[in-house]
Amino acid sequence: MTATLVDLKQMGAAAKSAARKLAASDSSVRNAALEAIADGLVANEDRILAANQKDIAESRAVGLDEHVIDRMVLNHDRVVAMADACREIAALPDPIGNVLEERTMQNGLDIKRVSVPIGVIGVIFESRPNVTIDITALCLKSGNGAILRGGKEALGANLVLAEIARDAITSVGLPTDCVQFISTTDRSIVNEMLQLDRYIDLIIPRGGAELVRFVGETAKMPAITGGVGVCHTYVDEAADVDKAVKIVTNAKTQRPTVCNAMDTVLVHSSIAGDFLPALARAKGMSDVELRVDGRALDLLGQIAEGARVVPARDDDFGTEFLSLIASVKVVDSMDEAMDHMTEFGSAHSEAIVTEDARTAERFLNEVDAAAVFRNASTYFNDGGQFGLGAEVAVSTSKLHARGPMGLREITTYKWVVRGDGQVRT
């Protein structure tokens, strides 16, 4: 259902009915739907990219920020990646119908705890059209219905992608309405969507802090309200400088507009004199504006001309930049670095670069974040990179899911009890 005039209650009821049938479907049929979506993406690449280019042109015409536009961009490789993700998810084990626990009681009752879909999942997202396919694929595999509401800036591409997905679903005999896309760009529809607790079992916002906060405060159904990424990398006194430069550069520059991109470098004072000049001169860092504290500024005062180094303001720490900006602070210990992460981080992705195994293990054990890394880029915090195929979100919540949310994180369980006339006395 993608009509311009949207009846959300009708969509919700249709999704609820379709989800019940989807949950009872055979795994092979759901996998066939995923393969059909992958084939449809490849066959319709020209349509997808044409719609995406139109979205980008219209967004630039109205002055949309470039970091938002970067998140919108599709190309051949990204279309292929969406198709590959569908096939990877199809190849994963079926997450529903698994017996998680089983016992037979003294009275003869057979009791099993069995994995089942959550039901209908609503996702409100901005900018990134690939989310339409990621959510669709994960929900299909896990037997969940999905109601999707993307941002107006990527509407054209989203509509094409939703059509491809729904055609593929229909082609294998599954109910088309198990996946629906809300086509209206009226913002009031979001508030209405958040009231549909009768039909939507879980709501997930994927966007900036303002959207996440609004959903958390407004939704009548359970919501995953984490995901904002203020990510740090701590360069320890026992770090390999070349390795640290490579990791920090990747975490900041590979794709600076995503939530797992690094925002702040914390560097131990004993290695800062070697590391910071090497970082500022590194290939790929010339376009990054380094907003540095006073101690770092003293160390970077004589670096090669062309590096972009400016004094940091207080609000440069704790900011998710989503652009080629990074803040830098010199610290005197790992404890100081961890205290900084606790105060300014969002519990998304935190990394340490060190060759000292004991220091690394202490960091990994003590830092409270959805994902912690030793000698690796925070850019790895991603469902595909973690072997989940894709993700519905990266959650910074502690209940019920944390980190990249794949198939397991969008299932729940129910108790199945079989008896033969037993009654409780």
Question: What CATH number is associated with residue 247?
Answer: 3.40.309.10
Domain membership flag for residue 57: yes
Q: Which domain holds residue 253?
A: 231-380
Q: What is the pLDDT of residue 68?
A: 84
Do residues 138 and 85 touch, judged by C-beta distance below 8 A? no
Judgement on whether residues 96 and 201 belong to the same structural domain of the protein: yes
Rg (CA), the chain: 24
Domain count, the chain: 2
Domain membership flag for residue 43: yes
Measured distance CA(419)–CA(104) in Å, rounded: 10
Measured distance CA(134)–CA(129) in Å, rounded: 9
Judgement on whether residues 260 and 300 belong to the same structural domain of the protein: yes
Which of 385, 384, 399 lies closest to 137 in space, CA to CA?
Answer: 384
Q: What angle do CA 243, 70, 226 make, to 5 degrees?
A: 75
Q: What are phi and psi of 91, to 5 degrees?
A: -80, -10
Domain membership flag for residue 386: no
Judgement on whether residues 216 and 249 belong to the same structural domain of the protein: no
Residue 255 CA to its chain's centroid (Å)? 14
Which of 367, 368, 360, 347 lies closest to 236 in space, CA to CA?
Answer: 360
Domain membership flag for residue 269: yes
- 417 half-sphere exposure, CB direction, 13 A CA radius: 10
Domain membership flag for residue 372: yes
Domain membership flag for residue 351: yes
The residue whose two tokens read 């595999």 is 141
Interacting residues of 203 by C-beta distance below 8 A, sequence separation 6+: 121, 122, 123, 124, 193, 194, 215, 219, 221, 222, 223, 224
Measured distance CA(230)–CA(54) in Å, rounded: 32
Judgement on whether residues 162 and 39 belong to the same structural domain of the protein: yes
Which of 102, 343, 367 lies closest to 230 in space, CA to CA?
Answer: 343
Measured distance CA(150)–CA(71) in Å, rounded: 13
3-state secondary structure of 100: strand
Do residues 76 and 45 touch, judged by C-beta distance below 8 A? yes
Q: Which tokens in the block code for residue 351?
A: 């990394």
Q: What are phi and psi of 405, to 5 degrees?
A: -100, 110
Q: Is the four-CA dihedral 364, 367, 368, 373 of positive or negative sign? A: negative
Strand partners, 147: 122, 180
Judgement on whether residues 170 and 215 belong to the same structural domain of the protein: yes
Q: Is the four-CA dihedral 392, 15, 21, 100 of positive or negative sign? A: positive
Q: What is the pLDDT of residue 4?
A: 40
For the beta carbon of residue 335, count every other beta carbon within 10 angstroms. Answer: 11
Q: What are phi and psi of 207, to 5 degrees?
A: 180, -155
Q: What is the pLDDT of residue 307?
A: 65
Judgement on whether residues 325 and 282 belong to the same structural domain of the protein: yes
Judgement on whether residues 368 and 255 belong to the same structural domain of the protein: yes
Q: Are strands 99-104 and 110-117 parallel, antiparallel or unpaired?
A: antiparallel
Domain membership flag for residue 173: yes
Residues of the chain with pLDDT under 50: 1-5, 304
Judgement on whether residues 164 and 204 belong to the same structural domain of the protein: yes
Judgement on whether residues 113 and 220 belong to the same structural domain of the protein: yes
Judgement on whether residues 182 and 124 belong to the same structural domain of the protein: yes
Domain of 56, CATH number, reads 3.40.605.10
Domain membership flag for residue 23: yes
Q: Are strands 179-181 and 145-149 parallel, antiparallel or unpaired?
A: parallel
What pTM was estimated for this model as a whole? Answer: 0.87
Measured distance CA(142)–CA(410) in Å, rounded: 7
Tell me whether residue 134 is exposed, middle or buried, using C-beta atoms within 10 angstroms of its C-beta: 0 to 12, 13 to 18, 19 or more. buried
Judgement on whether residues 266 and 409 belong to the same structural domain of the protein: no
Q: What is the pLDDT of residue 86?
A: 97
Judgement on whether residues 257 and 172 belong to the same structural domain of the protein: no
